[in-house]
Amino acid sequence: MEELVLVKVAEEYASQIADYRQEMLDMGSSMDGTGSLKVMENPYDYIAKCRDYEKKETLPEGRVIATQFLLIRRSDNKIVGMIQVRHHFNEYLEKYSGHIGYSVRPSERKKGYAKTMLKMALPFCNSIGLDKVLITCDEDNEGSERTIRANGGEFESIIFEPNEGINLKRFWVKTDQAN
């Protein structure tokens, strides 16, 4: 597999963030693990908002501290995926969304990027004090379930998410398994 690196959102990737967003919108893909990207057309505003989520002092009310990463393929410096790590829970995250959300751009799917991206994020989770993380996926999302299980995900339960009207599978992943 090609060399990949996780980097925090940054201005140098603004045009690519806009391209990633547009590709996801064009394909009707859910933008899991991208924070507010779906509703933010200006990538610079999105980057600023991601930075606001990193500090308690600038965190929007009702939200939790989160770190937004881009998965970059080194050979062409292209964003192939995005992953968000939430440092702790609020009520909704604890029930439905978990600590981590991620997505891979449609043109780069089925290449193992999600599995690698999740594996790369686990040491960061461990470094912020999370011994294990909750990750959820749609009940019928076999690709995401394989990604989670490939990283040591242990199935806990299925829960109904009323806002979206879907069943979600809940998995726990130990963060020291990535070492």
Residue by residue, pLDDT tens for the chain (179 residues) are 689 999 999 999 999 999 999 999 999 999 999 999 999 999 999 999 999 999 999 999 999 999 999 999 999 999 999 999 999 999 999 999 999 999 999 999 999 999 999 999 999 999 999 999 999 999 999 999 999 999 999 999 999 999 999 999 999 999 996 44
pTM for this structure?
A: 0.95
Q: In whole angstroms, what is the distance from residue 14 CA to residue 20 CA?
A: 10
Asked if residue 118 lies in contact with residue 142, where contact means CB atoms within 8 angstroms, the answer is no
Asked if residue 139 lies in contact with residue 104, where contact means CB atoms within 8 angstroms, the answer is no
- Look at residue 34 in the predicted model and tell me its pLDDT: 97
List the domains of the chain with CATH numbers: 4-178 (3.40.630.30)
Cα distances (Å, whole numbers) of residue 96 to 14, 87, 99, 177: 30, 15, 10, 23
